[in-house]
Structure 1
Amino acid sequence: MKKIVVKVTIIREKCKTVILESVAKLDGIQSLNLDEEKGTLTVVGNVDPVSIINSLKKKKMAAQIESVGPPEEKKPDEEECKKACEKMIECCRRPCSRMPFGWYPHRPVI
């Protein structure tokens, strides 16, 4: 899988539609992102960069490959990790009983 950034010319609203429709038809695409301000199309997936350019040029859209590389990996958020650790610590502090099929926390009988 790779991340491909393509420089595109976006003149009006219809350009965005044409760009997304022509590239979305290609096989192996995992995600598409069109940035109007920068004028870039980011494609993530197993796609040949040349086929992206060819599909855009067939629709008379100016396009140029800016970069090809590995996709960015998402790093876990520190707050999410802290919350998960707190939940685990709370669970381990509760008294447990041993049953023939495993451990379970005590629950008060109401």
Structure 2
Amino acid sequence: MKKVVLKVELHDDRVKQKAMTTASALSGVKSISVDLKDSQMILSGDTDPVSVVSKLRKCCHTEIVSVEPAKEEKETKKVEPAKLSLPLHQAYPLIYYVTSYKENPSDCVIC
């Protein structure tokens, strides 16, 4: 991933739209941002800066300001479910005993 900062001369909205359309059609471009105040276009992705400038020069005057590796975004931490770390007799306190019907008829669950 590269971050390419270009100086572009955007006179009006039509030229700006045409430059953004041309830049977005290039292969490897992940994101485009335009700063009209500083006359800069910032492209990020796996692109060749020379080919980007040659394509953009067809619609407006373009110069390379800087090419640097893009900062990778921090991955969000995944929340793992809480693990139960209790002894077995505390984790499962209900233990059922099986008794036969003949020993004590009142203990029969099915009847």
Query: Do the two structures share a fold, i.e. TM-score over 0.5?
Result: yes
Q: Identify unmatched segments of 5+ residues in structure 1.
A: 99-110
Q: Segments of 4+ in structure 1 off by > 4 A? A: none
Identity fraction in percent = 28
SS of residue in 2 equivalent to 1:32: strand
What is the TM-score normalised by the length of structure 2?
0.66
SS of residue in 1 equivalent to 2:5: strand
Corresponding position of 2:15: 15
What is the TM-score normalised by the length of structure 1?
0.66
SS of residue in 1 equivalent to 2:70: coil
Distance in structure 2 (CA, Å) of the matches to 1:71 and 1:11? 28
Q: For residue 57 of structure 1, report the CA deviation from its aligned partner.
A: 1.3
Corresponding position of 1:41: 41
Q: For residue 58 of structure 1, report the CA deviation from its aligned partner.
A: 1.9
Q: For residue 33 of structure 1, report the CA deviation from its aligned partner.
A: 0.7
Q: Identify unmatched segments of 5+ residues in structure 2.
A: 93-111
Q: For residue 29 of structure 1, report the CA deviation from its aligned partner.
A: 0.8
Corresponding position of 2:25: 25
Q: For residue 74 of structure 1, report the CA deviation from its aligned partner.
A: 3.4
Superposition pairs for residues 35-74 of structure 1, below 5 Å? Answer: 35-59=35-59, 61-74=60-73
Q: For residue 4 of structure 1, report the CA deviation from its aligned partner.
A: 0.3
Equivalent pairs, count:
89
Larger Rg: 2
